[in-house]
Structure 1
Amino acid sequence: MISILIAASVGLLVSILLTPYLIRVFAKQGFGQEIREEGPQGHRSKRGTPTMGGVAIIVAMVVGYFTAHLLRFALADGGVPSASGLVVLYLAVGLGVVGFLDDFIKIRKQRNLGLNKTSKLVGQLVIAVSFAILAINFADDNGLTPASLQLSYVRDLALITFPVPVFIIFCYLLISAWSNAVNFTDGLDGLAGGASAMVLGTYVVISFWQARLSCTPVPQDACYHVRDPLDLAVVAAAATGACIGFLWWNAAPAKIFMGDTGSLALGGLVAGLSVTTRTELLAIVIGGLFVVEMVSVVIQIAVFRTTRRRLFRMAPFHHHFELAGWAETTVIIRFWLLAGICCMFGLGLFYSEQLSVVGG
């Protein structure tokens, strides 16, 4: 528990102190956000706001995680990072690098499009495939690897077991979906950062819960077959603190944007935690806001290509309400409430499943 608190505190402190430094540096270098011409007119005033603030989130997360381990090592209480924690960090940082390149190209070429589709696809593919391969290796003494080849809800579903090649494809699709979902949500000041903090905070609770109910001495049917759940809680806590610290500067009116650097990293983090905690299906509920934002884009494209009409005034979904006359801060706060409801509902499902197993 102390490691979780240390990781969250250090992540928060590093993020809240590093972000204003990045604001000054990026502003001096002219690393300003380009705004889509077809976007809401009210967003034109945001042009030039420093971007790539996701660097602060990634650095704070990594520093928070390793600081917690260094302090444990200094206290002679273990302190060795786990395979599960490291592969999830690798996924988040790797996608953050892809996002950074995308942001940097946007800035250098003064346009709202960075990496071309092929380059971005290849970058995500390499990171996702390598994560999947790493995640099914490094078994512990109990034979548990960071990821399972079985599809999971709260526990592995024995009826659905993927062959290794199919699992790798599944991981790629999952990681691509979550990273793009968070990217779509990052369209209003603080919206993605606040929602991500809630989702990651939920994973702190879930991972800690799993650590308390790891197989021994609880009944076998009630235990969670997850490798390194406590270390995953440390990763999630460091990222939660990093998001909250960044939100201090990213809340409306934003002084800096996270850019693709942050949104791709956070999406990868959600995907990685869902795989390593065996909650791929439950994550759809916990990250329900991100899912709705992504689905709104898919539906908008499908309807327009079919009927040449737009179902929403603009996609992603948050822009629909902006164009309907809602103030930006109103949209943000109400979407935060929706994100919180999804997280609480997801926790409720997690807890009710545990009760049903114990009661059964």
Structure 2
Amino acid sequence: MIALLLAAGLALILALSGTPVLARYLVKRNYGQFIRDDGPTSHHTKRGTPTMGGAWIIGSVVIAYFATHGIMTMLGVASAGPTASGLLLLMVAVGMGLVGFFDDYIKVSKQRSLGLTAPAKIIGQTAVGTTFAILALSFPDENGRTPGSTAISFVRDTPFDLAFAGPLIGAILFILWSILILTAASNGVNITDGLDGLAAGASILVFGAYMLMGIWQFNQRCADPGVPANICYQVRDPLDLALIAAALCGSLVGFLWWNTTPAKIIMGDTGSLALGGAIAGFAILSRTQLLLVIMAGLFVMITLSVIIQVGFFKLSGGKRVFLMTPLHHHFELKGWEQVTVVARFWIIAGLFVAVALGIFYAEWVVLL
């Protein structure tokens, strides 16, 4: 467990010290956030705040990950070294972050609130998701376990397997299923990232939960002969996933120091898409796909507010359910201070995470 503390500490130091350096560089390049005119007027003061801070969130995690494995290898830890699951998770986070980077770059270079077109963004997310899904079904370990599984999972793989009609059909369905999860999660975090610190703080809670789940899965892994077969977890590299979750928590805490109101830097689509991709990657690689709906409940709730608003607006001929969406802007327009909205939404995110962890542990207790 020393490796987890080391990864979290390194990522924290890197993010805490490097984020203001990046902010100053972005200000010199005039890479500031462009604020939409139809949003809350209080947000107009954020115009020009440096964006694309998410690049250093992920950069800190990547550096901390490889540095931790290097240090543990030098210390002679036999199991040290990057794993297939860990590298895949970093790949999907970086890939989604690149899609977000292009989106951010177009916004700041063109000085407009819209970056990539919707089709272009979906193509980018699909390309990343397809690559991730194909590789997730590769790289079996000595026990034949691959990072991903064609079985639909809740807190572990369920009997419903997408390969019911054969391996090829199963692989194709798994790719489509993975793309859906990755696209939904990345866009969900992207929509939530509308207030200083909101997405970063909520993500810390989610990644903290995945860290705890990874540690638990490692201690109850099927490779351990002392764990009964009916309760063991068929996750390929749970401890390495927990290490990345710890690094993400550390990096986000360091970034949040500079991202709280008034934010000195914004993560941008670079950060929100990367974090959403990482959250989806955890759900797929830790075999907890359907649990993600609860684990990331705040992101789901905020995304649903947009869907409800648009659908009701079209069906009712112009009427609205909320004053404005995403949901956090509705409460701003009702008079809540931004810090109040963020703090209360963090509480909601924490409650969703607590319920998800409770379900995860309760299932193990029942089987025991």
Distance in 1 between the 2:113 and 2:340 partners?
Answer: 26
What residue in structure 1 maps to residue 118 of structure 2?
Answer: 117
Distance apart, 1:301 and its partner CA: 0.8
What residue in structure 1 maps to residue 7 of structure 2?
Answer: 7
Would you say 1:184 and 2:191 are equivalent positions? yes
Q: TM-score, normalised by structure 2?
A: 0.96
Matches within 5 A, 1:139-150: 139-150=140-151
What residue in structure 2 maps to residue 171 of structure 1?
Answer: 178
Q: Residues 46-87 of structure 1, C-alpha deviation per residue, up to 9 Å, x if partnerless?
A: 100010000110111101111110111101213220000000
Asked if the contact 2:196–2:261 (Cα under 8 Å) also holds between the matched residues in 1, the reply is yes
Distance apart, 1:283 and its partner CA: 1.3
SS of 2:142 mapped into structure 1: coil
SS of 1:221 mapped into structure 2: coil
4+ long deviations beyond 2 Å: 159-162
Distance apart, 1:160 and its partner CA: 3.8
Alignment RMSD, CA only? 0.8
Distance in 2 between the 1:203 and 1:333 partners?
Answer: 22
Distance in 1 between the 2:68 and 2:155 partners?
Answer: 27
Would you say 1:295 and 2:296 are equivalent positions? no
Q: Residues 143-189 of structure 1, C-alpha deviation per residue, up to 9 Å, x if partnerless?
A: 10001101101110112434111110111011000000000100000
What residue in structure 2 maps to residue 68 of structure 1?
Answer: 68
Q: Residues 264-291 of structure 1, C-alpha deviation per residue, up to 9 Å, x if partnerless?
A: 0000000000000000111111111011
Would you say 1:107 and 2:114 are equivalent positions? no
What residue in structure 2 maps to residue 58 of structure 1?
Answer: 58
Matches within 5 A, 1:74-85: 74-78=74-78, 79-85=80-86
What residue in structure 2 maps to residue 200 of structure 1?
Answer: 207
Distance in 1 between the 2:203 and 2:118 partners?
Answer: 25
Q: Tell me the percent identity.
A: 49
Distance in 2 between the 1:223 and 1:198 partners?
Answer: 25
Q: TM-score, normalised by structure 1?
A: 0.98
Asked if the contact 2:65–2:247 (Cα under 8 Å) also holds between the matched residues in 1, the reply is yes
What residue in structure 1 maps to residue 46 of structure 2?
Answer: 46
What residue in structure 2 maps to residue 304 of structure 1?
Answer: 313
State the one-letter code of the partner of 2:297.
Answer: G
Distance in 2 between the 1:194 and 1:268 partners?
Answer: 16
Distance in 2 between the 1:63 and 1:177 partners?
Answer: 27
Would you say 1:265 and 2:264 are equivalent positions? no
Distance in 2 between the 1:140 and 1:311 partners?
Answer: 51
Q: Structure 2 residue aligned with 1:209, among 216, 221, 240? A: 216
Distance in 1 between the 2:308 and 2:66 partners?
Answer: 41
SS of 1:33 mapped into structure 2: coil
Distance in 2 between the 1:272 and 1:99 partners?
Answer: 17
Distance in 2 between the 1:58 and 1:113 partners?
Answer: 23
Distance apart, 1:305 and its partner CA: 1.0
Distance apart, 1:323 and its partner CA: 0.5
Asked if the contact 2:162–2:173 (Cα under 8 Å) also holds between the matched residues in 1, the reply is no
What residue in structure 1 maps to residue 349 of structure 2?
Answer: 339
